[in-house]
């Protein structure tokens, strides 16, 4: 025992006499080992979280079974009518990347290029079914059957993107590309990416979302080799990041593509059609929100990053500031169009609040059959009067016109100003008046201020 104590004492004495370099090297090794242990523990924790999330979001094969039965019926009908076409499953169900609880299935009816009026022919094929028509560049049809929503889309049967007459013609090629370039691990990581983006409210290319589409996430996960790899690499993305999977443009995509195609912060060269930016719909707001969420998750991983939360009005109701809560019934348009109109109505309200000097601390909204939105506005006493700037004094005609419009005027630094009584000191009253505007009425069926 004494010998061990002697060795320890000698070691401490020698360490205190050691050079500064040796001491620093010793502490560096200790710190590095601590960091390595922390990194291993952190990685294990992250892996465990992802395993739990995947178990929760990965579906069984019931959707594929129901889709298979519907396809069988459809192809028998096509054969009976003597039409040169074939119905195939598309989208995430075909790729094996769909999520549990997602009962929407894309079905593509691939027609021989000899046919012209594809939507009309498809309508004849679907005659035995009760269906809704969705109008677009090519009309397609929605059929509800056995708890599923089948979106039946007419496309041309093509083997390469250059043969496409419509962007939907390429959809089966995208499915083939994903299956060719992925394995089960990659497909599960695409699921994780979708769930993450949905929970962070950055999923969907619709014009009222302007987020990451499923197709964009497919490309990103395959390009980086996994979900965590995507998150880590996103932290290094620039103000405008270019992903060119096959290096079609030799690093010069920003110079060679039309400027209208590269306005998004993330430019993803479509691996099927190189002249197309797959991420063209992505906004700067959603791009930044994704990167911020990625950084937060990597620093402090939690299952909460994958939980989709409905809009919670509790925060708005509990605030000590002003809260305005709106209930909105959208117009009877298809989802994307109706959602875009609701968004424009809300942006109009937002602009009006700011124009009247109300400071918006938080704004949240959620689209649905009945959309909900709330604004939290800073509670402050605004001045009774506002100052409106007029023209410079040397512009005599403009000054005369300005003075004719306003009573309380004054001059300052060779310019005329008007002192106006503030119309709105309460933001709720302003919103109640705005929602009566024709601009709002043209875009939503009904809007009500709940608070």
Distance of CA 49 to the CA centre of its chain: 23
Does residue 81 form part of some domain? Answer: yes
187 & 72 share domain: no
393 & 269 share domain: no
CATH of the domain at 199: 1.10.1410.30
398 phi and psi angles, rounded to 5 deg:
-65, -40
287 & 185 share domain: yes
Q: Which of 292, 309, 326 is the last residue of a domain?
A: 309
Does residue 284 form part of some domain? Answer: yes
Supply 181's token pair.
């370039």
343 & 404 share domain: no
Residue 69: the pLDDT is 93
Does residue 151 form part of some domain? Answer: yes
357 & 438 share domain: yes
Does residue 149 form part of some domain? Answer: yes
Q: Which of 309, 332, 351 is the last residue of a domain?
A: 309
Residue 312: the pLDDT is 82
CATH of the domain at 397: 3.30.70.1550
Residue 37: the pLDDT is 52
175 & 185 share domain: no
Residue 416: the pLDDT is 92
Supply 197's token pair.
């983006």
What value does the CA radius of gyration of the chain take, rounded to a whole number of Å?
Answer: 30
Query: Quick check: 56 and 100 in contact, CB under 8 A?
Result: yes
CATH of the domain at 87: 3.30.460.10
Does residue 2 form part of some domain? Answer: no
Residue 6: the pLDDT is 41
Does residue 21 form part of some domain? Answer: no
Does residue 348 form part of some domain? Answer: yes
Residue 7: the pLDDT is 43
What's the rounded Cα separation, in Å, for the pair 333 and 347?
A: 19
What's the rounded Cα separation, in Å, for the pair 70 and 60?
A: 18
273 & 346 share domain: no
81 & 174 share domain: yes
143 & 203 share domain: no
CA atoms within 13 A on the CB side of 5: 2
337 & 416 share domain: no
326 & 368 share domain: yes
Q: Which of 125, 149, 179 is the last residue of a domain?
A: 179
Residue 4: the pLDDT is 45
**Any bridge partners for residue 11, and if so which?**
none
343 & 374 share domain: yes
Does residue 215 form part of some domain? Answer: yes
Residue 193: the pLDDT is 98
Tens of pLDDT along the chain (451 residues) come to: 444 444 444 444 454 445 555 545 554 555 555 555 556 666 778 889 999 999 999 999 889 899 999 999 999 999 999 999 999 999 999 999 999 988 889 999 999 999 989 999 999 999 999 999 988 889 999 999 888 899 999 999 998 888 888 888 999 999 999 999 999 999 999 999 999 999 999 999 888 899 999 999 999 999 999 999 999 999 999 999 999 999 988 887 787 777 777 889 999 999 999 888 999 999 999 999 999 999 999 999 999 999 998 888 888 888 888 899 999 999 877 777 888 999 999 999 999 999 999 999 999 898 888 899 999 999 888 888 888 899 999 998 998 999 888 889 999 888 999 998 888 988 999 999 999 999 999 999 999 988 7
CATH of the domain at 324: 3.30.70.590
Residue 266: the pLDDT is 95
Note down the domain range covering 406: 385-421
Surface-to-core class of residue 270, CB atoms within 10 Å of its CB (0-12 exposed, 13-18 middle, 19+ buried):
buried
Which pairs from 65-74 meet CB under 8 Å and 24+ separation? 66/105, 66/145, 66/146, 66/147, 66/148, 67/93, 67/105, 67/107, 67/148, 67/150, 70/105, 70/107, 70/145, 70/148, 70/150, 71/107, 74/107, 74/109, 74/125, 74/152
Domains of the chain: total: 4
């Amino acid at each position: 025992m004494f010998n061990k104590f002697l060795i320890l004492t000698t070691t401490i004495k020698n360490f205190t006499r050691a050079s500064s370099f040796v001491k620093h090297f010793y502490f560096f090794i200790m710190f590095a080992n601590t960091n390595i242990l922390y990194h291993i523990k952190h990685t294990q924790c992250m892996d465990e979280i992802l395993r739990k999330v995947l178990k929760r979001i990965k579906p069984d094969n019931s959707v594929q079974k129901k889709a298979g039965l519907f396809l069988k019926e459809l192809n028998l009908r096509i054969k009976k009518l003597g039409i040169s076409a074939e119905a195939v499953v598309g989208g995430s169900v075909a790729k094996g990347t769909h999520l549990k609880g997602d009962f929407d299935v894309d079905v593509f009816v691939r027609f021989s290029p000899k046919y012209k009026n594809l939507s009309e022919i498809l309508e004849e094929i679907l005659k035995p079914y009760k269906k809704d028509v969705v109008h677009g560049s090519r009309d397609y049809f929605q059929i509800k059957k056995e708890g599923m929503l089948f979106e039946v889309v007419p496309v041309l049967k093509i083997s390469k993107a250059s043969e496409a007459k419509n962007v939907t013609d390429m959809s089966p090629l995208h499915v083939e590309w994903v299956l060719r370039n992925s394995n089960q691990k990659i497909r599960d990581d695409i699921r994780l990416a979708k769930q993450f983006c949905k929970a962070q409210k950055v999923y969907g290319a619709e014009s009222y979302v302007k987020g990451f589409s499923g197709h964009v996430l497919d490309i990103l996960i395959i390009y980086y080799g996994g979900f965590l790899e995507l998150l880590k690499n996103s932290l290094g993305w620039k103000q405008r990041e270019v992903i060119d999977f096959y290096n079609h443009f030799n690093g010069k995509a920003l110079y060679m593509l039309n400027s209208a195609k590269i306005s998004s912060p993330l430019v993803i060269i479509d691996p099927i059609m190189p002249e197309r930016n797959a991420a063209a719909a992505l906004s700067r707001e959603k791009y930044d929100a994704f990167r911020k969420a990625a950084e937060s998750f990597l620093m402090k991983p939690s299952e909460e990053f994958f939980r989709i939360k409905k809009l919670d009005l509790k925060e708005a109701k509990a605030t000590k500031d002003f809260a305005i809560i709106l209930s909105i019934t959208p117009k009877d348009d298809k989802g994307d169009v109706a959602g875009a109109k609701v968004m424009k109505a809300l942006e109009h309200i937002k602009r009006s609040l700011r124009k009247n000097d109300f400071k918006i601390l938080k704004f949240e909204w959620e689209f649905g059959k009945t959309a909900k939105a709330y604004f939290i506005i800073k509670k402050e006493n605004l001045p009774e009067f506002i100052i409106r700037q007029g023209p410079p004094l040397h512009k005599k005609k403009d000054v005369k016109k300005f003075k004719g419009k306003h009573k309380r005027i004054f001059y300052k630094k060779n310019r005329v100003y008007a002192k106006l009584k503030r119309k709105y000191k309460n933001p709720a009253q302003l919103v109640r008046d705005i929602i009566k505007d024709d601009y709002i009425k043209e875009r939503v069926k009904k809007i009500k201020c709940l608070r």
